[in-house]
């Protein structure tokens, strides 16, 4: 099997994770479930970054740095997501995005 084919298979998996994650983040009402969708999108980025490193440019550390960055973004997203959820629940007992549409601005 050629390297290109394997790369394409791995990237398709990444695309699948991104697609499923997007669907979840857009369709779910609960803030926590929305965050799970975003995590899936970032999981796709992890896979794509790893594949880019191994199949395209293993001599450079840049793709590895991209994966590290995606992990950091996940951590920040989780921490801030939970903090915002707690803050909005504390002030108005809301845990669903549809109840906070007035924050749209």
Structure tokens at 66: 């991209």
Spatial distance between the Cα atoms of 89 and 91, rounded to a whole number of angstroms: 6
Q: How far is the CB of 103 from another protein (least distance, A)?
A: 14
Q: How far is the CB of 104 from another protein (least distance, A)?
A: 14
Spatial distance between the Cα atoms of 47 and 42, rounded to a whole number of angstroms: 9
Q: Which of residues 1-40 bind another protein (CB under 8 A)?
A: 1-4, 6-24, 26-33, 35-37, 39-40
Q: Which is nearer to another protein, 62 or 103 (CB)?
A: 62
Using CB under 8 A as the binding rule, whether residue 104 contacts another protein is answered as no
Considering only residues 90, 102, 104, 105, which one is a binding residue for another protein as defined by CB under 8 A?
90
Q: What is the DSSP letter of 61?
A: S
Kindly write out the interface string for residues 51-80 of this chain, putting x where it contacts another protein by CB under 8 A and - elsewhere.
x-xxxxxxxxxx-xx-xxx-xx-xxx-xxx
Q: What is the DSSP letter of 41?
A: H
Q: How far is the CB of 87 from another protein (least distance, A)?
A: 4
Q: At what angle do helices 3-27 and 31-55 cross, to 10 degrees?
A: 170
Using CB under 8 A as the binding rule, whether residue 103 contacts another protein is answered as no
Q: What is the DSSP letter of 95?
A: -
Residue whose structure tokens are 């975003």: 38
């Amino acid at each position: 099997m050629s390297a290109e084919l394997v790369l394409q298979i791995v990237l398709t998996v990444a695309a699948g994770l991104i697609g499923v994650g997007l669907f979840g983040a857009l369709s779910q009402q609960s803030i926590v479930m929305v965050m799970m969708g975003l995590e899936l999108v970032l999981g796709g980025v992890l896979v794509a970054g790893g594949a880019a490193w191994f199949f395209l440019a293993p001599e450079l550390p840049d793709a590895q740095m991209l994966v590290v960055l995606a992990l950091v973004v996940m951590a920040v997203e989780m921490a801030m997501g939970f903090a915002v959820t707690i803050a909005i629940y504390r002030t108005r007992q809301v845990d669903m995005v549809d109840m906070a549409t007035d924050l749209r601005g």
